[in-house]
Structure 1
Amino acid sequence: MTELIPNPCSVVAGSGEVRLTAHSQLYAGTATEGVGHWLRTVLWQATGLPLREGRELDDTEGDGIGLQLDSELGPEEYRLVSDSTGVLIEGGSATGVFWGAQTLRQLLGPDAYRRAPLSRDRAWIVPHVTIEDAPRFRWRGLMLDVARHFMPKEGVLRYLDLMAAHKLNVFHFHLTDDQGWRIEIRRHPRLTEVASWRARTKFGHRASRLWEEKPHGGYYTQDDIREIVAYAAERHITVVPEIDVPGHSQAAVAAYPELGNTDVTAASIEGGSALTVWDTWGISSNVLAPTDTTLRFYEGVFEEVLELFPSEFIHVGGDECPKEQWRESVAAKTRITELGLADEDELQSWFIGHFDKWLTARGRRLIGWDEILEGGLAPGAAVSSWRGYGGGVAAARAGHDVVMCPEQYVYLDHRQAPGEDEPVPIGFVRTLEDVYRFEPVPSQLGEAEAQHVLGTQANVWTEVMEDTARVDYQTFPRLAAFAEVAWSRLPAPQERDFADFERRMAAHYGRLDALGVAYRPPTGPRPWQRRPGVLGRPLEGPPPNR
């Protein structure tokens, strides 16, 4: 009964139970109607119970469900009380009520996650209990890279459901990279006509020489994006888009060569042929030119992005930008001189600063990977700290908001165990327990500085994840451990009760099974997930990129 993930702040068990039946009603008070619609839909799919609409809270007395706001609770805080009067979920906002509804679904058991009732005659039991709960962090994120391997829209919607089930609330949508451009920009049609497809795909890590000799690609139309954003909003998830600049941009340059450093690009292209969407992993040296043409082009891109995404933050990447072409480019050198900059690092800072001002003028905030600290950072910008804790510490001490996502703990493309059984293993070994013992707030920060830590995020880079099953395998069950770190107020890492987490996970695996998640079993890889030969060799050291 207390096998909940993430673990609530307070659980007080009672001695009875509420039985949901065909006569049960669901009352949704003012501003909770959307949550009521969602809960009625998922429970009807799983139980076959109609949960008729109650007009008053009293209609739910004894065997029903009530939803309402309580102004004394925080925005994401909720209280769930199951007793002789029925089930009542109260929240400080509709978001808090929604998280309480997610907890109710867990209390009903794994079959509450199915899309068809196993038996229409079974009783659906909610134990008597009082649960009071609120999140530790306001930013509890998952980043999904759809540039390296495209995930169709239905797969993205599925991951939003999985996030909501774990009380994660920020979906960082990595839409562009060297290997593909995944969002329709109507004023620049070649971004989808050319940049969304590559001729072949490298299969495995960078030490592998194996290739899949067929094109790979895809993109989301603007209507797809609107659907994804609306679907996320119904689940109280904010979608933060990422459009990578000035590095990780070879796909865009392949579509529009004038965006590149044209006075040096020809010499860097093998055989002098046209630049193409990159078909390997790592860091491409083909970066955006620091020209007015490039700025105007991307301002147009961001104008369409802002129309599609209402999020406060817009992610601009800013990481892993090689400076070789800028050092060789006469145009780039001239720009540095004109702007009175010291070097190419300051040129990148100027580039990021331009879009920080541009976004700020439109009521949005820029966020980027921690490389944007190099050369100076605009006051309102926030930082995704991925290269360990250092970037987050420096940013917070300088007064910038921070999302902690250090690769050593929360890069879920990293292998989950040593040995040759792990499919296409890369990076460091990061076990379920390693993720569970991750602490998002760096110990070096004082109390005031720690207030700049907005929260934390797990990142899923898909170089070695060719389909949804592989994404599932790398992401779960570690995302469940991460969700508890992001939501629950856990003790210091060394004091955390991992054995209790494993006990609760035993029940949670049943929920994941009902949801069809191809997670890595706690006992090791499934036989079909093992790949012999070169794909099974561990890759020592850091991952291919990021």
Structure 2
Amino acid sequence: MRGLVPEPGSVRAREGEFRLWASTPLDCPPELAGVAQWLRGALRLPLPVGEGPGGEGGVELRLDPGLGAEAYVLDGLTITGGSAAGVFYGCQTLRQLLPPEALRRAGPTDWLVPAVTVEDRPAYGWRGVMLDVARHFMPVADVLRFVDLAAFHKLNVLHLHLTDDQGWRLEVPGWPRLTEVGAWRSESMLGARQHGKFDGRPHGGFYTTDDLREIVAYAEERHVRVVPEVDMPGHMQAAVAAYPSLGATKVTTRTSWGISTHVLNLKEESLDFCRDVLDHLCEIFPSELIGIGGDECPTDEWADKDLQPWFTARMAEHLASRGRRVFGWDEILEGGAPAGAVIAAWRGPEPTTVAARLGHPVVACPDIEAYLDYRQSDDPGEPTPVGTRLTLADVYAFHPVPEGLSPQERELVLGGQVNVWTEHMDSARAVDYMTYPRISAFAEAVWGPRTYGEFEARLPDHLARLDALGVNYRPPAGPRPWDARPDAPGNPRSLPDRLAELREMTKRLPSGG
């Protein structure tokens, strides 16, 4: 039997095998019609409703709420889940039991499935990935493919970073210049900002409302929740470029990486603008959580340096009036995060502990363990090596819950996510290289980790699946010559230097009780 990723909780081999081919029937209750339709497309098989020829058994999809929402049991060709999501994950395991060729969009569709019984459930409810489409715009088709690959690994949250200083990626009614001006920049920086190199090529793009609704619907079919983020009040230079009255200085959409000092001025017009943006997000995205960022906001342009907590509270009140909750980076803990806010803890492991001790639900995504833009090795062939070294083994070792939390505090750690910041990823191919197979290791870390040695032994089977899915992953042996970016030099960091920097960055965090 081929190695499964993430490895299920229990796999018991049985005698025999089952045939899966054009005449194999499928039976399911109406509540699972969506999963059944997805499975037919994924397997490229008609799976007709009814009994197979000569009374031959077929695929059965069943619900058993007693299992737990995302748990499933796969017994032969019968998949029982605690909810539609659990059944969907069982179907993904069924796909991995087939040869890698079954994952291709053409070729044979007649397979023998080994007889096994799988019992499985995830360790964490939030198994997420953040995709930055602001630094480099990703067309809709590439986002849908990104969702497919995440769902194949049983991830269930797509945190979509839609705006930043370098680009505004969604249209907002009544604010047309956001996409006419803010969605475009004259050029992009090549490599780390310390080198001051630019490519001289215009870049941009944005999603229409229909585009975003398509992404949401596509993700929902795959049991992935999309949590949108529009960063405010910092990381807003693209918006200020479009509407100078929102800021203090007339600017253009930022072309360099790093943090801009040009932020919202927090006058009434700016507050109304933010409310309009949040209202539009609420119209498109069914997620209870709406991301407002709140990170890295310089106060150079503000007379009152302590305005940000006040602003965050106003946005939280507005979202609450829509039945939604704030999702923000751990900086919003400084000065007091609004009650009910969910924290994305990124500045090392400490903010996860602080958030939980303050009673906030928290998603762990510490940069030194979960930032997939960070370099994968010390090999000089790594493309634009930035940040601390984050190997496949390092990602596999990620554990969302810090030591020292009480049982009640541990319950507030919803899970973890990896973050894909795209300053140095200008194509889906580049995203593939930086993301896979590290995200495969992360998927197992938040589903139910074993040991890295076991994962490493199963990895060749899984890489064959990624090959069949057309993923430009980084080979375990190291970067290939054509993956290098000698034109875009990086800025590698040592772990001790980064830890010292994080200690300085988090000095304003509250004690956490």
Q: How does 1:132-143 map to 2 (within 5 A)?
A: 132-143=119-130
Tell me, yes or no, if the aligned pair for 1:530 and 1:536 is still in contact at 8 Å. no
CA shift, 1:23, in A, is 2.1
1:61/1:81 CA distance change after superposition, 3 Å: farther
Match of 1:354 in 2: 314
Q: How does 1:275-286 map to 2 (within 5 A)?
A: 275-286=251-262
Q: How does 1:277-296 map to 2 (within 5 A)?
A: 277-296=253-272
1:34 aligns with 2:24: no
Q: 1:80 aligns with which of 71, 74, 77?
A: 74
Q: How does 1:46-85 map to 2 (within 5 A)?
A: 49-54=45-50, 62-82=56-76
CA shift, 1:486, in A, is 1.2
Structure 1 unmatched runs, 5+ = 266-273, 328-332, 334-343, 491-495
Aligned residue identity for 2:34: G
Q: 1:408 aligns with which of 351, 354, 368?
A: 368
Tell me, yes or no, if the aligned pair for 2:364 and 2:401 is still in contact at 8 Å. yes
Any idea what SS the aligned residue of 1:315 has? strand
Tell me, yes or no, if the aligned pair for 1:66 and 1:88 is still in contact at 8 Å. yes
Q: Find the aligned partners of 2:346 and 2:53 in 1 and give their Cα distance.
A: 51
CA shift, 1:444, in A, is 2.0
CA shift, 1:232, in A, is 0.4
CA shift, 1:60, in A, is 10
Aligned residue identity for 1:481: A
Deviations 1:404-448 (A, max 9, x none): 000010100000001311011100000000000111101121111
Aligned residue identity for 1:229: V
1:277/1:534 CA distance change after superposition, 3 Å: closer
Deviations 1:440-490 (A, max 9, x none): 1011211110000111100000001111111100001100000001111x3
Aligned residue identity for 1:176: T
Deviations 1:354-412 (A, max 9, x none): 11111112111101000000111111111000001111111111110000000010100
CA shift, 1:27, in A, is 1.4
Q: How does 1:87-126 map to 2 (within 5 A)?
A: 87-117=77-107, 119=108, 123-126=110-113
Q: Find the aligned partners of 1:222 and 1:439 in 2 and give their Cα distance.
A: 36
Q: How does 1:78-477 map to 2 (within 5 A)?
A: 78-82=72-76, 87-117=77-107, 119=108, 123-261=110-248, 265=249, 274-327=250-303, 333=304, 344-345=305-306, 347-477=307-437
1:430/1:38 CA distance change after superposition, 3 Å: same
1:60/1:252 CA distance change after superposition, 3 Å: farther
1:59/1:244 CA distance change after superposition, 3 Å: farther
Tell me, yes or no, if the aligned pair for 1:178 and 1:277 is still in contact at 8 Å. yes
The alignment-based identity, stated in percent, is 53
Q: Find the aligned partners of 1:402 and 1:434 in 2 and give their Cα distance.
A: 21
Structure 2 unmatched runs, 5+ = 506-513
Greater alpha carbon shift after TM alignment, 190-199 vs 24-33: 24-33
1:539/1:454 CA distance change after superposition, 3 Å: closer
Q: Find the aligned partners of 2:65 and 2:470 in 1 and give their Cα distance.
A: 37
Aligned residue identity for 2:308: Q
The structure number with the bigger radius of gyration is 1
CA shift, 1:254, in A, is 0.6
Any idea what SS the aligned residue of 2:489 has? helix
Aligned residues: 500
1:517 aligns with 2:471: yes
Aligned residue identity for 2:75: V
